A = this chain, B = another copy of it.
Amino acid sequence: MKNFVFNNPTKLIFGKDTIITRLRAELPTDKTILVTFGGGSVRKNGVYDQVIKTLEGLSFVEFWGIEPNPKVETIRKAVALGREHHAGFVLAVGGGSVIDASKLIAGAIPSERDAWDIVLSGKITEESLPLGTVLTIPATGSEMNSGGVISSIETKQKFGFSGAYPRFSVLDPTVTFSLPAYQVSCGIADTFVHVMEQYLTTTGQSRLMDRWAEGILLSLKELAPIIKEDPQNYDARADLMLCATMALNDFIRIGVTQDWSTHAIGHEITALTGLTHGHTLAIVLPGTMRVLGYTLKREKTLQYAERIWHITEGTEDERITAAIEATEQFFRSLDLPTRLNEMNIGREVSDEIVRRFAERDVKLGEASTVDAECTRKILDSCY
């Protein structure tokens, strides 16, 4: 096991009616709150009304329009609004995009750096404004981690950065009842692949971390068909929401190596085509496994095959193939096409990703072997 430091201070407030009953006590009474929103779905599912009722009597200003794959151009406007109103607290109401953007907003308001410079530097080093969140989509884990991913329209780029953990996050599973099926599926795929990036590396690092990663994967496998069949199943929705948070809040990466090459490739696909993040991962992960599952990730893929898909028959290579097929089939069971051509993404996109990786001399993965050439093989296998 590798040495590590774990420190996740986010207060998670979880359950039915927690927005109405618990949010107020977490909000500052002596500061102006910049409340950030996405495109307006919270007006339909009742979340906006609950939040506004909670804010009664407090000083706040609303910023609307943070888009999926949030753009730095939008974030700059939120930063300007926050400064204009001397905001001292940021409350993000939405999914991972709104929360990711709000982390950057909270870091950029008190900073002298431009928001995109912060992203390019990889880190908010300034003291951020305190941030709270009300989560509406289980997927990114942003509600309980310190990371975010931001895009630039101007440069067609998408990069991650690290900032501060939210002070608190309020998660009411009932607000996810009305999510469109595609968004639920992309959230499940995102959660699944978050786990895989922290799990599918080498064996023998930590039995416990392996079991916990597998625990999320097994839960997702069981929950997905239940939620598809019965979208209003509270316990299944609650468990899915918990899985999404726990998949990327540092809990399953303790003392182990990580990969994240599937994410890096997926981010490029989104930056170039706009395809939803979780969906890009459902396409790329099987590709990564096809290229690395028989070699670098061989032992772990065999463990994954046995423990997640109960594949124990056949030669090692046959079991690996079966595990990759089961993974792809799982994503397809979520009604997510798993091939680039099915999404009308042509070779020019792959070519551009490979060109960018070569230019940046990218070396991803737990063994730094996922370079431009390896990425070419991964993407080629996704058609």
Residues on A facing B (Cβ under 8 Å): 1-18, 22, 173, 204-208, 211-212, 214-216, 218-219, 222-223, 234-235, 238-239, 242-243, 246, 251, 254-255
Contacts and interface: CB of A to CB of B under 8 A. Distances in A.
Nearest to A11: B7
Q: Name which of A3, A13, A15, A212 has the most chain B CB atoms within 10 A of its CB.
A: A3
Contacts of A12: 4-7
Contact of A255 (B4, B15, B215): B15
A119 B13 CA distance: 28
A243 B16 CA distance: 31
A208 B215 contact: yes
Contacts of A238: 1, 206, 255
A282 to B, nearest CB: 21
Given A6-B11, A6-B12, A11-B6, A206 B1 contact: no
Contacts of A18: 3
B204 A243 contact: no
Contact of A219 (B7, B208, B223, B255): B208
Contacts of A239: 1, 206-208
B8 A14 contact: no
A312 to B, nearest CB: 13
Contacts of A13: 5
B242 A208 contact: yes
A14 B5 contact: yes
